[in-house]
Structure formats: C-alpha cells, structure tokens
Amino acid sequence: MQLQKQGWKFKDSGNEIGLESSVVSQNYNKLIKNGPHPNLYHHEPIPGCLKNITPHAECRAVHLITSGEC
C-alpha cells in the first residue's frame, strides 16, 4: 500500500515483495474498497442458482444440530 502511494506500479511492487502483480493489485483494490481492516480471505458469493442440498447432507446437518456437536 505504501509503495502504491509512492507511485510504484503493481509490477514493481510485486517484484519488491516477491508476489505477482495480479495479487498485489487485487489486494490493493480490496484495501481501497473495504477500508483499513478488510478480511482478505472473504469471497463474494458467486451469482447464479443455489446448490441443492442432498438428502444425505440434510440428514447429517440435522444430526449435528440435534446432537449439539455444532
């Protein structure tokens, strides 16, 4: 972030810290978008149809919830 404020390009910043320029630009844009303390591991949900839960997964979820394991 400091290198970008000094006018460095993403490619130069990446070379300086050992990362690809695409990684540097993605993280920089997340910092700009989400403020000073963003969660860099958060991913926005992919638009489209929701996945259907299988009967087995539903049964397992019910068991975990009723048994108090989660």
Q: In order along the chain (70 residues), what is the average pLDDT of each group of 10 residues?
A: 72 83 82 74 78 90 86
Distance from C-alpha of 65 to C-alpha of 57, rounded to nearest angstrom: 12
- Write out pLDDT tens, residues 29-39: 877 877 777 67
Range of the domain at 12: 2-67
Distance CA 50, CA 46 (A): 9
Nearest-angstrom CA–CA distance, 36 and 30: 10
Q: Token pair 């993605």 is at which residue?
A: 26
Residue 4: enclosing H or E segment and its boundaries? helix 2-5
- Residue 18 DSSP code: T
pTM above 0.85, yes or no: no
Number of structural domains (the chain) is: 1
